[in-house]
Structure 1
């Protein structure tokens, strides 16, 4: 079941979104890694190649 926040998105919008490069940045403990992992898993399940890099200054 899709969350309420994503119900208005079409499959085309979602599929086009995961074709782009994504960079998450921000403060600690806001869910960046969780979100990036979830998007990567979904993209991989659709046959896209994913690459995850964790960077610490």
Structure 2
């Protein structure tokens, strides 16, 4: 994999999981793990970049 496509894939991975795990509530930025932990639950961890990339090939 060349450097440009590796960077593009990494940026896509970051955006994909940040979109899923971070949201705004009443003007405060909250990540889902903090929200789940405060309610006594735990979110499923995001896969590492390498795990995510291998699942896309």
* TM-score, normalised via structure 1 length: 0.32
Structure number with higher helix proportion: 2
Structure number with higher strand proportion: 2
Pick 1 or 2: higher relative contact order, CA cutoff 8 A, min separation 6: 2
Specify the structure having the higher radius of gyration (Cα).
Answer: 2
* TM-score, normalised via structure 2 length: 0.32
